[in-house]
Amino acid sequence: MRRLLFIFSLCLILAPLAWGDYQDGRKAYNRGDYATALKELLPLAEQGHAGAQYFIGYMYYKGQGVDQDGEEAATWFRMAAEQGDVKSQVRLGVMYRLGLTVLKNYKEAKKWLRMAAEQEDTKAQYNLALMYFRGEGMQQDNTEAVKWYRKAADLGLPRSQFRLGVMYYEGMGVPKDDDEAVKWVRLAAEQDHEQAQRILPILLRDHREGSDPANARKKKLQNQKSLMQLRSAIEEKYSHRDLRGIDWDARFAEFESRLVNAKTSRQFAILAGQLLEVARDAHIRIKVATLLNTDGETFASFRRSGSVRPNVDFDLIKKAVPQFQFLNQVVATGRFPDGPAYLMIGSWSQQTARNIERNIEAAEKWVDGLSPDDTLILDIRFNGGGDERLAKKIAGRFVERSVVYAGHLNRDTSSPSGFSKIKTRTLKPIRPGFRGRTVVLMGPVNMSSCEAFLLMMKQAPQCTLMGEKSYGSSGNPKPMRLANKVTVFLPSWVALTPDGEPLEGKGISPDVHVEFPDKPEDDPLINAALELLKEGQG
């Protein structure tokens, strides 16, 4: 009993001391004295103080008083988030959602944002709504987006009020209701939300004109013309028109009435996407200007996420690869003791990282710094494509001479076959290059320009492709602008292997097939790559 009283008394004595250290650390941080802040807060963070853990995480996130380290930041934020610290949950969720100093991970983003959103944090509610609205890591769901926009809007967040108003205006996730649209956009405008202030007059004008029968007739005629243009584009320009044996006349007849009577261009675009979904083509995209995005909101008619099972787990990579570190948003490296180097390239796409060229330059320099005696594991299992020219900058370092790596047929209605002659694509060497044995880890996420990269790497004799078959989709989509200002992007070519075999729907097979089980304890591909490279040394 005395011992319990002693411990209780000790806690009462130490608690104010810890609180004082925490306040001293916060004050030091606020005045920019990061060394003192670190000194005061780190011991508390290590003892489990959630507030201190948040500050340590933020200092690593920003590189304040320490080297910037996104993974270390995420570690500290996670410790605090698991204790229910809302700020840490939000910070962690946004980091994973946007790929800020860590690799994008929509599953983790959704998990932490939902925790904070359920505690009525408006920033978390807004970000969660955006994930549902954009279909980030999940099926797009405007109804759920409206639900979370409304929660944040009811709590007074101007950007959620604005977006909720636009959802009512466009009829997204709720029936179109101009009165509700004006109500919510006006509330945001009254709180000095700039977009709301610019758009409110447009809503009021459209509200007045919406009751004019002449405008309704004009919209219907625009939609009819747009429907005819879309049908012609499928017939004459879509390179995979006949791939799946679709009865396009019947398909258009099924959607004709709804498309012609669409009240907004966005509604037309959504219906057009549903019409084209039957093609199961990941390269068909539709773009339409909306109040949320005057440059155009782009969305896919077919989302492949439900049909693809990735053969990679980021946590297993971190566990398996020594000295694992991110060079930037899309490039990570590591080094096995007395073994191969490790390079991960997560994307070739501008949508993944705005400064994608600079990110890939970091990978180029890293490859150039390898020793001739090195071996390499090049991991692209997260990579869904992007800019083929950037892929060439890496692959060119692995070939000694110019090689043909792919071909394609362009859609050409003037030709009896409907296609042009075969055109080839060539990879040129980049000096000094790397000739060490290389294992390229691949899988079903790989498509488009990343499949072109796989074909490039197949031309390098020292490279072995390992993993599972790629997705099998390439299109070089071209835009077709319709009368109602909806733009449809349709694939314009049939991609071919160097042997002239079509890629679409087939994918690229690895040289060494390694299955990725449902719940692996470690990464079987990395293990197999290490064994293969070890055998080569023997």
pLDDT digits (tens, 9 = 90+) for 61-116: 999 999 988 889 999 999 999 999 999 999 999 999 998 888 889 999 999 999 99
Give CA–CA dist 126/148, Å, rounded: 7
Ranges in the chain annotated CATH 3.90.226.10? 307-472+507-537
How many degrees, rounded to 5, is the angle at CA 146 between CA 141 and CA 151? 135
pLDDT of residue 508: 98
Amino acid of residue 79: M
Rg (CA), the chain: 27
pLDDT digits (tens, 9 = 90+) for 257-274: 999 999 888 889 989 999
pLDDT of residue 538: 46
Q: Phi, psi at residue 245, to the nearest 5°?
A: 65, 35
Please name every residue paired with 478 in a beta bridge, in sequence order, or none if there are none. 490
Give CA–CA dist 104/92, Å, rounded: 11
Coil, strand, or helix at residue 150? helix
Q: Does residue 12 have a pLDDT over 50?
A: no
pLDDT of residue 303: 73
Place of tokens 């070890």: 534
pLDDT of residue 293: 65
Residue 333: how many CB atoms within 10 A of its CB?
Answer: 18
User: What percentage of the chain has pLDDT greater than the value 90?
Assistant: 77
Instruction: Cis check for the bond before 524: say yes or no (omega within 30 of 0).
Output: no
Complete edge-to-edge strand list for the sheet that includes strand 297-300? 297-300, 285-288, 486-491, 477-481
How many degrees, rounded to 5, is the angle at CA 322 between CA 318 and CA 327? 70
> Which is nearest to 37 in space by CA: 25, 19, 22?
25
Residue 527: how many CB atoms within 10 A of its CB?
Answer: 13
Please state which of the ranges 323-327, 400-404, 456-460, 507-511 shows the lowest mean pLDDT: 323-327
Average pLDDT for residues 311-321, to the nearest whole number? Answer: 95
Ranges in the chain annotated CATH 1.25.40.10? 120-211
Fold entry, domain 1-97: 1.25.40
233: exposed, middle or buried (Cβ count in 10 Å: 0-12, 13-18, 19+): middle
Q: Does residue 140 have a pLDDT over 90?
A: no
Residue 463: how many CB atoms within 10 A of its CB?
Answer: 22
> Is the distance from CB of 263 to CB of 171 less than 8 angstroms?
yes
Q: Does residue 25 have a pLDDT over 80?
A: yes
pLDDT digits (tens, 9 = 90+) for 181-227: 999 999 999 999 999 999 899 888 877 766 567 778 888 999 999 99
| DSSP string covering 12-71 | HHHHHHHHHHHHHHHHHHHTT-HHHHHHHHHHHHHTT-HHHHHHHHHHHHHTSSS---HH
pLDDT of residue 38: 93
Q: Give the architecture-level CATH label for domain 307-472+507-537.
A: Alpha-Beta Complex (3.90)
Tokens representing 306 are 């439900």
Element (H, E) at 495: strand 493-496
pLDDT of residue 292: 66
The pTM assigned to this predicted structure is 0.73
pLDDT digits (tens, 9 = 90+) for 219-237: 899 999 999 999 999 999 9
Give CA–CA dist 404/409, Å, rounded: 15
Place of tokens 């304040």: 64
Give CA–CA dist 302/259, Å, rounded: 18
434: exposed, middle or buried (Cβ count in 10 Å: 0-12, 13-18, 19+): buried
CA–CA distances in Å: residue 30 to residues 59, 90, 332, 393:
12, 21, 32, 44
Q: Give the architecture-level CATH label for domain 120-211.
A: Alpha Horseshoe (1.25)
> Is the distance from CB of 512 to CB of 466 less than 8 angstroms?
yes
pLDDT digits (tens, 9 = 90+) for 415-474: 999 999 999 999 999 999 999 999 999 999 999 999 999 999 999 999 999 999 999 999
Residue 473: how many CB atoms within 10 A of its CB?
Answer: 25
Amino acid of residue 67: D
pLDDT of residue 297: 74
Give CA–CA dist 168/183, Å, rounded: 10
Residue 404: how many CB atoms within 10 A of its CB?
Answer: 12
Amino acid of residue 99: G
Per-residue DSSP letter, 323: T
Mean pLDDT of the chain: 91
pLDDT digits (tens, 9 = 90+) for 266-312: 889 989 999 999 999 999 999 988 766 666 677 777 776 666 889 99
- Express the helix, strand and coil content of the chain in percent, nearest 5 each: 50, 15, 35
